[in-house]
Structures are given as structure tokens and as C-alpha cells.
Amino acid sequence: MNEITKDTKAKRKAILSTPAKYLMVLALFLGLAALLFFGRLVWFYPHLPLERATVPPIDEANIAPESAEYQPFKDRPVAGNGRVIIDLSHDNNLEVNDLSPLRDRLEARGVTIVTHSGINGSLRDQLRDATALIIVAPTMRYSAEERDAIVDFVEDGGLLLLAADPTRPVPEDDEFDSLYSALYPTSAVPVINSVASAFGVVYYDDYLYNLEDNAGNFRNVRFAALNKSNALTKGLDTVVFFACHSLRSDGVALVVGDANTLSSVRTGETDLAAATLSADGHVLSLGDVTFMTPPYHTVEDNDHFLSNIADWLAVDRRLRDDIEDFPYLFGRPVDLVPIGDDLLDPQLVTRAGEWQAFFNQTGLTLSLRTEAESEHDAIFIGTFDNVEPIEDHLSDAGVTVTLVEEEEEEETARGGAAGEDETPKSHVTIEGMGSIGIEGTTLLALDRSDDSIVLIALAEDTEAAIEAMERLITHDFTGCVQADAATVCSSGEGPRETREPAEEPGEEEVPTIGRIFILEDDDKAVGSRTGAAELEAILSPRYDVTVWPMKNDGVPEYEDMTGYDVYIVDSGDYAAEEDNYDALLAMQYIEQGGVMFIGAQPLAMPEEDQLAPIDDLQVDDASHPLAAGFELGEPITLLPSESGVPATVMSQEDTTESQIVFRRGPDSAEAGAPAVVTISQEYYGESIHLVLATFAFYRLPEDAQRTFALNAVEWMMGE
């Protein structure tokens, strides 16, 4: 058994000693090596790479940019007439030839084109004989006076073309930083809106774009929705505007974007208008300028549109039916006829020669005659005491001249001093206006009742009558009050008529001359309204009144506020705001005249100022002109405040140097505290009258409103 075992072991030993045994070991290690290799494979590359999608090619067919289509248009001008003013006095952002296509078309229609640069007279002067005004890309704000002139012009039948676009902002002074100013422009939209808003048009500070269908670029917008019924857009299929504003207008939309034409700021809005015409057809507003300029005026139907615009501008729609249209109200040769022997003096003859030259410059003729020819228009010039030859004309103009003998006037004066009934002085009565004494007064009356046009200039004496004619020539109607067919001016020599306070409604009124600026301080957060509308209604029949709503128009600038006799800052029932001194800042522009601050909290105040409701007033100083017509001791109950904002309680210290005219009434909190005070100051040699009233004007009863407003204005004017 042991031998067998030993033999087996020996055999095995012999086997293990063979090369086969050796190879087995090597194979084992080779297997280990393979395992190592595949382990590494699985470790680092656990699966095959995912199938990669091929890189997709680009569809080149879609890369085909379009260009704007230039389309020639043969202009067929129809003879027109008129005088078109192109206003370039407001730093207009235009290149030299930008308006050439429009100018060429206007000239082809026989229209006279005048460029107003601002150095050849005021815009109002330029518009006197104009038929149309073109305002393109202005970058300097229009003053209130200019805006009024344009409004008057349009109301008088003039045509107004407004155009502005977002690529024409306010130019920067620093030409070396032009790129910066191009990228960060100062918008000129407020500038164009300073005119457009007067006609119910608003330019939005945006640009229109269309990413779906455009003329080569998103901002080159194709407009196919054109008003086919309007002559301006009749016959057009498509116009292209090159970066244009959207507009809002009370009138008719002429050019409207489609559903894909969007505004850069009016998110989600469509059907946006890019050109509008006012309801009366006198104001055309365009949101783009570039489409009028070379070469873009030839794109699509732009040129046709431009011709239509030229046709529209070349029609004289101007009404010339009042004195302000002098001398263009005359359509025939004019005879200058003196009335009264004493006017036939050398001075008149000399002046008549100058006036003839003036008429000649305007294409009219003027002849000095002793009698008007029937086929001519006429100007009668004379004095009030010699109106018999022209009474019919005066009557047609609604004017009656009443002369009172000098002795009678003196008697009246003595009687008035003794407290007796007053007898009328010599005066002129004008329909719709009232009466005014002839002393220191000049009258301009217009009779258009017959075929001929008759203008009458009357004054106290020859010199004043000539001055009246000079007013017409120079168009200087400052200090004048105008009715339908007559204008009354102060010659500055005589006393103004004074109005008896608290006169009954319907009582004959005597015109007073002066300009009033009402600053409606309504840009506050808390409050309801001001009394500017009531003030305007009361004062405008007698005075030239301008209302400036700060909420809409912002803070007025120097040029907006100069030249007025009285300034009224009406903050109504608004609560004063800390750090909101804009109304006071605006007051720095006042150089002379009277100022009234009226409102619940009429001045910006420090926090410690006391506030309390005010419900009534009572007169404190009955001798003060401001209290004329009010009863001493009789409370004036104020109407309820619409906002409930309490009023400032003035302390006695506030009024040390002033006069208290009204105090808070017995029903008011802090009864007896000053409510209306007046201050007279000398300011650089000029006398300034100030009124400070701490209640909302609209809260006064209607009759008290009238009395208080007229009293205050007259006192502030120093009358």
C-alpha cells in the first residue's frame, strides 16, 4: 500500500516536472493577463460609444436677405398756391438735402417756400401770411408763445406738417463723442410733443419694428394698411418707414401697422399708427422723417405719398378774416382814407409812404385817398371825435362810439366826488366785449359785411391813430383785447377803466388789458384738483390768460413764463410735498408783475408747519382792494374740499411785513389765523405784489370766486 502511494506520488511528481506542467502554469498566467486586459477594458470603456448624430447642415435657401424695393414714381404736379414755412429754428436734426424731395415737389406746384431760421422775426410773424408750416425733427422745445402762434395759425386754416423719428434725437454738443450720443441719445420726442399735443397728437418715445415682413431690416417697416379714403394715402399700396415712432391722435389714422408691427415700448399693442391726420384735416403728423429723404423717398410708394403730401400742402386753406391777418385779409387794392382834416398832416403822408412799401413787399397795393373807391378795400384812419363818415362801417363791426361833452365829464367827476350818480364818460361800446373809455384807447375795427373789406383805425388823436396803424404793420397786439371784429388797445397814455367790484352778472363789463399766467401746480400725489379752470373762465374775458398744467406740460421754462403781468400759482387742494419745489423754482423766472400763490398748501413747507381744515373766511381788512365787494364780519362759507387735504395755518410771524386781508372764519379750525395775506416788495427796482391764499380757489362760492379773482388781479397789476 505504501509502495503504491509512493509510486503514485512519484508519477505525479514526474508529471509536474514535465514541460506540459510548465505550460499549464504559463497558460494560467496568460489567462490572468487576459482577465487584466478585459478588466481594464470594462473599467474604462464599459459600453460602446453612443451613436453620434451627424452634424446637420444649414439650410442655405433661407439665407437670402431682401432689400428695399426702389420704385420710380412720376410726379404729376397740379398748380397750387401758398406760402409754406419750413421751421428750422429749433435745432432741427436734419441734413442739408433731407427735405429736397419735398421742396422740389412744392416748388413744382408753385408754392413759395420760406425757411424760418429764427433770426428773421418770430414764428408768429412768419406765419402771418403763411398757408402751411412744416416742422421736421425739431430738437429744441417750442415756447408757449410759439405754440400759441401755431395753434392760432392752424385754427385760422393753416396747415401743419409734423414729422419726427427716433433716429433724430437731440444732437450732442460734443462732436467727438458722437458714437456715445448715438448710443445714448437724448430723445427729441418731448420737443415734437410740445407742439403736437396742442392738436391732440402724441408721439410715443418708441420705434416700430416688424420681424416677419420688412424691407431688409426689422425697423424698416412696410405699411400696407393705408387709409384708402383719404387723399393723402389714396392710390398707395405700400409705404416703408425707416425707424418710426408710433402716434396717437384724435383724428384719422393714415398709415397703420399690421399685427406683426410692434412697438419697442408699447408691448403687445398692434395696429399702431405711424401717420395721422387731425379731424379737421389741418394737421398731418408723421412718425418718420427718413422716408421723405433721398434715396428712401423712392422706396415702394414713398414717392407717391410724398407727392400726395405736397398736393395737400399746396392748397391755401387759410382763413383771413380778422385783424391779425393784416394785411393779408385784403384781396384787392387798398385805399388809405384819413377821416378828419387834422390827419392830413405831413407825418401821415410820410408814414403812408412807408406803409405803401410794406404793402408792396407783400404783393398788395396801398393808395392814400380822400375817399375809398367802390372796387377797392379800404383803411379808414382817424379820431374818435370824427367818426360820422364811417358810422355804418362801425355799426357793421359792432362798434358804437359815444362822445360826451368835456364840460359834462367834468361835472360828472365833481358829482362823483360828492357821491352823486355817475354819468358815462366818452366811450366805445363793442359787441361781445363791453365798453371802454376812449381816453388812452385805440380801436381797430373790421367791416366785412360788403364785398369790400374795410379796416378802421381810431384813436384820441392823430399820433395815436398812426401808432394804431403801426401796430397793424408790426403786428404788435400786446396789451390789446380782441373781439370778433374789433380790437381795443391801450395807447398807454390814459388811465384804465376800473371795474366796480362785485358787480352783478350781466352788468356791462369794461375790458382791462394784461396778460396772466396761471401755473396749475397739479403734479402732486395727494389731492383732487385746482381752480385753474374757474380762474381762466373768470379772467379770460378781460385778460390774455395762459394756463400751464404742470402735470401734463412739466415745469415751464424761462421763455414760457416771460412777458406776463400777473402770475397765479394754483395748487388747489393738493398736499405740498417735501422736496417738490418745482412751482417755486418756476417762479424764479418772474422778473416783474404780481404773483398769487393760492391753494390749501400753496408753498412747499417744512414739516413743522401746522395744517388744519379751513371751512370759511372772513374779511379782516375791508379797506384793502382785495376785500372790495366783501362784507366785513360776514363769513364766506367755503364749499367742501374734494380731497380733504387740510390747509396751511399761517402764523402771525409770517405776516409781520404784510397785510392780512382775510382770516379763517369761525367754523374753521384755528379760527382767526391769517388766510389771505398780501405783500408788496421792491425787487430790483420793480414793484412786485404778492398774494398768499391758503385755501383752494374752487371752494369759494361762485360769486365770491369772481370778486376775489378780479380784485386780486387788479391789485397785483397795481391798478
Partner 1 sequence: MSISAFLTRVGKALLWVIPPILILVAAWLVGASLLPQPAVGIIRLNTDIWSFSASLVQAQIEAALADDQIRAVVVHINSPGGEVVATQSIFLELQRLREQMPVVGSIDDMAASGGYYVAVAADPIYAKPSSEVGNVGVWALIPTDLAVNDVILTSGPFKLTGSNRDEFLRDIEGIRLEFVETVFSQRGERMGLSRAELSQGLLYPGRTAVNLGLVDHIGTLSDAIEDAAERAGIANHRVVDLEKRVLTEMYSDSYGTEMWIASADPLTGERSLPYGAYLLYDSRLRGAP
Q: Which residues bind partner 1 (CB under 8 A)?
A: 22, 25-26, 28-30, 32-34, 36-37, 40-41, 43-50, 52-60, 62-68, 179-180, 183, 211-212, 216-218, 260
Residue 106 to residue 314: CA distance in whole angstroms: 7
C-alpha cell at 608: 413743522
Our CB check for partner 1 shows the closer of 15 and 34 to be: 34
CB of 9 to partner 1, least distance (A): 19
Our CB check for partner 1 shows the closer of 294 and 644 to be: 294
CB of 19 to partner 1, least distance (A): 11
* Residue 327: cis peptide before it, omega within 30 degrees of 0: yes
Virtual CA dihedral for 37, 40, 41, 42, nearest 10 degrees?
A: 120
Our CB check for partner 1 shows the closer of 100 and 540 to be: 100
DSSP assignments along 160-222, one per residue = EEEE--TT--BPPS-GGGHHHHHHSPBP-HHHHHHHHGGGTEEE-S--EEESSSBSSSTTEEE
CB of 213 to partner 1, least distance (A): 9
Our CB check for partner 1 shows the closer of 122 and 181 to be: 181
CB of 92 to partner 1, least distance (A): 22
Residue 290: CB atoms within 10 Å: 21
- How many CA atoms lie less than 13 Å away from 16 in the CB half-sphere? 6
Our CB check for partner 1 shows the closer of 38 and 581 to be: 38
CB of 265 to partner 1, least distance (A): 14
Give the C-alpha distances (Å, rounded to integers) separating 105 from 112, 275, 359, 396, 578. Answer: 11, 20, 29, 43, 56
| Cβ within 8 Å of residue 160, ≥6 positions away | 132, 133, 135, 150, 153, 154, 195, 199, 282, 283, 284
C-alpha cell at 624: 384793502
Name the one residue in this structure whose C-alpha cell is 502511494: 5
Our CB check for partner 1 shows the closer of 213 and 686 to be: 213
CB of 56 to partner 1, least distance (A): 5
Residue 130 to residue 145: CA distance in whole angstroms: 17
Task: Using alpha carbons, select from 573, 486, 472, 468 the residue that is nearest to residue 524.
Answer: 573
CB of 168 to partner 1, least distance (A): 16
Our CB check for partner 1 shows the closer of 257 and 593 to be: 257
Mark out the alpha helices in 526-662 (DSSP H runs).
Answer: 532-539, 550-553, 558-561, 582-587
CB of 30 to partner 1, least distance (A): 6
CB of 52 to partner 1, least distance (A): 6
Q: CA-based angle 491:497:502, to the nearest 5?
A: 150
Give the C-alpha distances (Å, rounded to integers) separating 172 from 187, 267, 420. Answer: 11, 29, 70
CB of 42 to partner 1, least distance (A): 9
Our CB check for partner 1 shows the closer of 63 and 418 to be: 63
Tell me the one-letter amino acid at 493: E
Return the axis-axis angle of helices 144-155 and 189-196, rounded to nearest 10°.
50
Task: Using alpha carbons, select from 197, 189, 133 the residue that is nearest to residue 165.
Answer: 189
Our CB check for partner 1 shows the closer of 50 and 79 to be: 50
DSSP assignments along 305-322, one per residue = HHHHHHHHHTS------S
Our CB check for partner 1 shows the closer of 15 and 622 to be: 15
